[in-house]
C-alpha cells in the first residue's frame, strides 16, 4: 500500500516580486577583435619560419647539410 504524502509547506519570508522591481540590464558592448588581415599575416609569417626550420632539419638529417642542423645527426650512424 502507498504511503500518504504530506502537503508541501508554504514558503515563508519571501514576498512575490512585482514586475516593476525588475532591473533592466543594459546590453553588453561587443568589442571587436583583431582584423582578419592581421591574423592571417601573423599566421603566414609563423608558418614560413617553421617551414624554413623544418626544411633545414630534413636537409641536416638526410644530407648532412643545412645552416642549423648541419652534422648533428652524422655521429649517430
Domain spans in the chain, listed from the N-terminal domain onward: 34-76
pLDDT score for 4: 75
Contacts of 26-30 with C-beta under 8 Å, sequence gap 24+, read none
Residue 77 scores a pLDDT above 60: no
Q: Average pLDDT, whole number, for the chain?
A: 82
Residue 16 scores a pLDDT above 70: no
pLDDT classification of 41: cutoffs 50, 70, 90: very high
pLDDT classification of 27: cutoffs 50, 70, 90: confident
* 4-8, 37-41, 56-60: which is most confident: 37-41
Amino acid at each position: 500500500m502507498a504511503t500518504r504524502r504530506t502537503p508541501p509547506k508554504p514558503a515563508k519570508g519571501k514576498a512575490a516580486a512585482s514586475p516593476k522591481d525588475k532591473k533592466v540590464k543594459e546590453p553588453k558592448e561587443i568589442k571587436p577583435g583583431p582584423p582578419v588581415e592581421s591574423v592571417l599575416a601573423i599566421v603566414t609569417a609563423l608558418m614560413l619560419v617553421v617551414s624554413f626550420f623544418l626544411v633545414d632539419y630534413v636537409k641536416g638529417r638526410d644530407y648532412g647539410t643545412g645552416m642549423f642542423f648541419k652534422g648533428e645527426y652524422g655521429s649517430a650512424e
